[in-house]
Amino acid sequence: MKATGFACVYFTDERDRPLQLHSVYSPAHPWQPAGGTMEPGERPWQTAVRECREETGITVAGPPRLLAAVYGLPGDEWPYSTMGLVFDGGRLGEDRIRDIVLDPEEHDEVRVLPVEEWRPLMPARDFARLRAIADARRTGVAAYFDTWDWGAG
């Protein structure tokens, strides 16, 4: 079996509303946490820190706090299984959110909304993943989310 790995960072504002980035390259997954695909020789936390810095200008400090493990089966959209880790980036104040610098080749908007208001803005599986991550942050119990399959709606 072949798989790709990714790592990302979950941020909220000070009222625990999730922060998401709007993708310019993926209409199938329009809203995403900061993160991306692992590069050769990189470990998940290194990927999360690098991708977050590239996509937002934020350098996340450790130690890493795992919120979720995410797995998806391959499908027509992507021929490999996908395995990823989601780390807690903490809560950001309004000033820090306003100062986010997006990479225009990847994202064109930052938005902060209550969890339920994300539902109509993303596919059902992306929303289910977001809810699992938010619940993990709230409860302190890491989520295992294994239904982020490619080809599912």
pTM above 0.85, yes or no: yes
Assess contact for 33 and 112: CB atoms under 8 A: no
**DSSP assigned state of 138:** H
What pLDDT is stored for residue 28 in this prediction?
A: 84
Q: ∠ CA 109-119-140 to the nearest 5 degrees?
A: 90
Q: What is the pLDDT along the chain (153 residues), one digit of tens a residue?
A: 688 999 999 999 999 999 999 999 988 889 999 999 999 999 999 999 999 999 999 999 989 999 999 999 988 878 889 999 999 999 999 999 999 999 999 999 999 999 999 999 999 999 999 999 999 999 999 999 998 887 655
Q: What is the pLDDT of residue 29?
A: 87
Judge contact between 99 and 92, C-beta under 8 A: no
Residue 122 is predicted with a pLDDT of 96
Token representation of residue 63: 């130690």
User: Looking at residue 152, what is its pLDDT?
Assistant: 57
CB 23 within 8 Å of CB 114? no
DSSP state of 104: T
**Which one-letter amino acid corresponds to residue 34?**
A
Q: What's 120's DSSP letter? A: G
